[in-house]
Amino acid sequence: KKKIGILTSGGDAPGMNAAIRSIVRTGIMEGLELFGIYDGYLGLCKNRIVKLNSDSVSNMINRGGTFLGSARFPEFNLVKNRLIAINNIKEKGIDYLVIIGGDGSYIGAKKLTESGIPCLTIPGTIDNDVVGTDYAIGYLTALETVVEAIDRLRDTSSSHQRISIVEVMGRSCGDLTLAASIAGGCEFIALPEIKYVKEDLLKHIKNRLSKGKKHAIIAITEHICNVENLARYIEKNTKRETRATILGHIQRGGKPIAYDRILASRMGSYAIDLITKGNVGKCIGIKNGKMVNYDISYALKNMKRPFKSDWFNLAKKLV
Ligand code: F6P
């Protein structure tokens, strides 16, 4: 019986459990043996590996986070740690690994594949910043969460005629902020892909206020600026009360929406299909509704995610 190890890595994302469940259940149907590796690459080095059966993934389809746990473990870049991991994998007789995570996880998967441990990767991150896919598992659930938060901020900022700044996660990818801004009707958007000039923002907000706008919501991706300082700057220059809200890890939690559960289930089952065909060293994606796969090394080198400039232009028209 071929043995498959599953791990989740990097920031957790809603729907990861649904993906693990799908890999386990479809894998068992194909006569494979499944193993869960706890706490990502860290757990791989610490040998936290347990056998999974169909019951291990009961009541998982609707649960946020990842029951296998995840970890940030940049030390996996070190050869000595990878050698420990490879030794643990070989001792357990694991033939393939399925890794669910973001771009950092892909790099680990590529290195393991090159060292003779064939891996498959499934995109799971609220940032939606991974190559070779239209959607990563968890992104659309996080989008719902952010839009709901913006709706709530709209209620209170309009009641008080305030300006509200909302900081959205995404690391160096503006997908979550951009989509949430369109759906939430934000008056100004700052994204990592677009040069940010605070004076332009102020000018824009002043212009909106001069046209009779009573309140405004500014959506901004994390790491662009200090939103508390920005709030003080806007307040001082507009004489309008301004509040900043950092949504933070609230965005990562919660039960996955139906789409993410289905996406995760499809990707998990597709991973097993690829393994049974011996098609490994691949990253899985969804393109125009269809499951696709690319060589991990090729994808990492050649597939920088394009910025959705048409979405950005639309957002600007709608303010
Ligand atoms: O990659 C997902 C993410 O939530 C990013 O949006 C964010 O920058 C980062 O993880 C936060 O990481 P941590 O949970 O390790 O603080």
Residue-wise pLDDT for 44-66, tens only, equals: 999 999 999 999 999 999 999 99
Q: ipTM of this model?
A: 0.98
pLDDT of 37 > 90? The answer is yes
Q: Locate tokens 């503006």: which residue?
A: 174
* 104 C-beta closer than 6 A to ligand 1: no
Q: Choose which residue among 145, 167, 252 to substitute to test ligand 1 binding: the one with the highest number of ligand atoms within 8 A of its C-beta.
A: 252
* 252 C-beta closer than 6 A to ligand 1: yes
pLDDT of 303 > 90? The answer is no
How many whole angstroms from 222 Cα to the centroid of ligand 1?
10
Is 127 an annotated catalytic residue? yes
Confidence of residue 272 (pLDDT cuts 50, 70, 90): very high
What pLDDT is attached to residue 306?
A: 87
How many whole angstroms from 173 Cα to the centroid of ligand 1?
12
* 12 C-beta closer than 6 A to ligand 1: no
- Phi first, then psi: give them for residue 189, nearest 5 degrees: -130, 130
Contact 15, 255 (CB under 8 A): no
List % helix, strand, coil for the chain (3-state, nearest 5): 45, 20, 35
Average pLDDT rounded to a whole number, residues 75-84: 96
* 223 C-beta closer than 6 A to ligand 1: no
Average pLDDT rounded to a whole number, residues 5-19: 98
Report the atom number in ligand 1 closest to the C-alpha of 252: 4
